[in-house]
Amino acid sequence: MSLRALALALAVAAAATVGAALVFEHGLGYVPCKLCLTERVPYYLAAPLALVAAFLPPRPARFLLGLVALVLLYGAGLGVYHAGAEWGFWPGPTDCGGGSGAGPADVGDFLKSLESVRPVDCTAAAWRFLGVSLAGWNAVIAAALALVAAAAALGGTQPSTGPHQPGR
């Protein structure tokens, strides 16, 4: 696969990952916690960086893809931290809470909503697939994308070793 195609694939995959999170939030009603929202930030950075890299010459493209790899590796670390907090391996943040949607229309409605609204807990998985929470899947996806970005960044400019390469 060409460097351009890899960069475009990374941009699409990062955007699709955030898109899936938004579907869970707005389409399926899962309210994200503070860590969930923080875990999206690396994708917000990775997608445009990879997209720009797709249209640059190889050297600057590889540099940007190296940055994408580092950003996504950080995202994988956030996912591991979040999933570990969900499993009780370590404490989660003490200020965890989240939310989405419109707030109450007036102060009376706001005070009434305080009786029933509970902040989203970063240490409780809202949903699991194959025993892995969304935070865990985020760690897996971010790590996989980071590996692809790192491989593309470190690919160098060595010529192909195929049998039909001119000059060999």
Cα-only R_g, the chain = 20
At 100 the pLDDT is 46
DSSP H or E stretch at residue 133: strand 132-133
Q: Which has more confidence, 108 or 155?
A: 155
Higher pLDDT among residues 47 and 133, named by residue: 47
Read off φ and ψ for residue 77, nearest 5 degrees.
-60, -40
CA-based nearest residue to 73, from 152, 151, 155, 144: 144
> What integer is the mean pLDDT of 131-155?
89
Q: Tell me what pLDDT residue 166 has.
A: 45
Model confidence pLDDT, tens digit, residues 97-126: 544 445 555 666 666 655 555 556 666 667
133 has which bridge partners?
Answer: 128
Query: What is the distance between the alpha carbons of residues 153 and 155, in angstroms, rounded to a whole number?
Result: 6
Task: Note the pLDDT of residue 113.
Answer: 58
Assess whether pLDDT exceeds 70 at residue 160: no
- pLDDT recorded at residue 115: 58
In the chain, what percentage of residues exceed pLDDT 90?
45
How many Å apart are CA 16 and CA 129, to the nearest integer? 18
* Total-model pTM: 0.74
Which pLDDT does position 42 carry in this prediction? 96
User: How confident is the prediction for the chain on average, in pLDDT?
Assistant: 80
